[in-house]
């Protein structure tokens, strides 16, 4: 029995999504072909046009899924693929599910006037698959790949995806270590990991995002006129930075930020996601 692809709209199909999600959890307990068959772990964002594409057979067995966001930014309308996953163990039944999911998205994107579709390939092997589907790198420095439909991403869009300038980021991190009272342990860690950080774009991007989360937290605290004792402390901010630095080679063991810091980080991260 072939798997049929059905699109579910977060704004209209929340109850259906919840039911299928329950069935997905039941299937997960007995299916060793998926790393994780839960099709909407990203959940539905009320601030975004968020769709779930689910491939199922007539008996309700989940064959694969895809989650996407429709966006209008930089003067362009486009689609971002959050996640596309199919069964790792292929056979005649499951073969080609990923292509069918993607083909349905392309059909909908064309009908909806999207200029292009883009995604973030997890690794070079996955990137080669997307190349076969027509995706390209718009700039050598940008990891994201694009499928052109009615147009190409403009300069503003591409500039937003450029890797962060490592020098500026490391200067900002150094400033956190130099704030009074000066943190000599963090200063030493910065020096030990600098070379490995500069040669690791993914970790540098993670460090940039951490700095943005700290900056966003400070903005929200100031906007809410939060008392000083309720704000994220300098020690917690430094712990968040250290956590990234220690996760690269040369950083040794990873030190976790406090519960308060992690709670703040989750809150500001969700706020940033909802604004996308």
- Which pLDDT does position 218 carry in this prediction? 86
- Which pLDDT does position 207 carry in this prediction? 92
- Which pLDDT does position 263 carry in this prediction? 60
Q: Each residue of 106-152: pLDDT tens digit? A: 999 999 999 999 999 878 888 999 999 999 999 998 989 999 999 99
Spans in the chain with pLDDT lower than 70: 1, 31-43, 45-47, 87-95, 250-276
| Residue 161: Cβ within 10 Å count | 16
Structural domain boundaries of the chain? 4-160, 166-274
- Which pLDDT does position 79 carry in this prediction? 97
- Which pLDDT does position 28 carry in this prediction? 73
- Which pLDDT does position 135 carry in this prediction? 97
- Which pLDDT does position 258 carry in this prediction? 52
* Token code pair at residue 87: 């069964």
- Please give the CATH topology (third level) of the domain spanning 4-160: Aminopeptidase (3.40.630)
- Which pLDDT does position 158 carry in this prediction? 94
81, β-bridge pairs: 68
- Which pLDDT does position 89 carry in this prediction? 59
- Which pLDDT does position 144 carry in this prediction? 94
- Which pLDDT does position 276 carry in this prediction? 40
- Which pLDDT does position 128 carry in this prediction? 92
- Which pLDDT does position 96 carry in this prediction? 82
- Which pLDDT does position 163 carry in this prediction? 79
Contacts of 3 (CB under 8 A, 6+ apart): 55, 56, 57, 61, 63, 64, 93, 94, 97, 100
- Which pLDDT does position 103 carry in this prediction? 95
- Which pLDDT does position 209 carry in this prediction? 87
- Which pLDDT does position 115 carry in this prediction? 98
- Which pLDDT does position 272 carry in this prediction? 44
């Amino acid at each position: 029995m072939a798997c049929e692809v059905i699109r579910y709209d977060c704004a209209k199909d929340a109850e259906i999504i919840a039911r299928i999600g329950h069935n997905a959890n039941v299937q997960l307990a007995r299916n060793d072909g998926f790393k994780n068959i839960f099709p909407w772990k990203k959940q539905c964002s009320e601030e975004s046009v968020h769709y779930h594409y689910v491939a199922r057979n007539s008996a309700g067995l989940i064959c694969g899924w895809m989650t996407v966001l429709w966006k209008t930014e930089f003067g362009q309308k486009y689609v971002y693929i959050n996640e596309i996953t199919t069964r790792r163990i292929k056979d005649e039944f499951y073969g080609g599910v990923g292509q069918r999911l993607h083909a349905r998205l392309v059909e909908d994107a064309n009908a909806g006037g999207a200029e292009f579709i883009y995604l973030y390939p997890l690794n070079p092997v996955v990137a080669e698959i997307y190349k076969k589907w027509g995706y390209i790198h718009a700039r050598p420095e940008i990891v994201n790949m694009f499928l052109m439909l009615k147009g190409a991403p403009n300069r503003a869009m591409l500039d937003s995806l450029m890797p962060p300038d490592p020098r500026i980021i490391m200067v900002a991190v150094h400033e956190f270590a130099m704030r009074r009272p000066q943190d000599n342990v963090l200063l030493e860690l910065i020096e030990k990991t600098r070379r490995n950080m500069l040669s690791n774009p993914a970790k540098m991007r993670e460090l940039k995002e951490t700095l943005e989360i700290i900056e966003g937290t400070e903005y929200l605290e100031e906007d809410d006129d939060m008392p000083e004792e309720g704000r994220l402390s300098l020690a917690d901010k430094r712990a968040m930075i250290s956590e990234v630095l220690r996760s690269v080679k040369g950083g040794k063991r990873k030190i976790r930020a406090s519960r308060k810091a992690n709670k703040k980080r989750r809150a500001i991260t969700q706020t940033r996601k909802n604004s996308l």
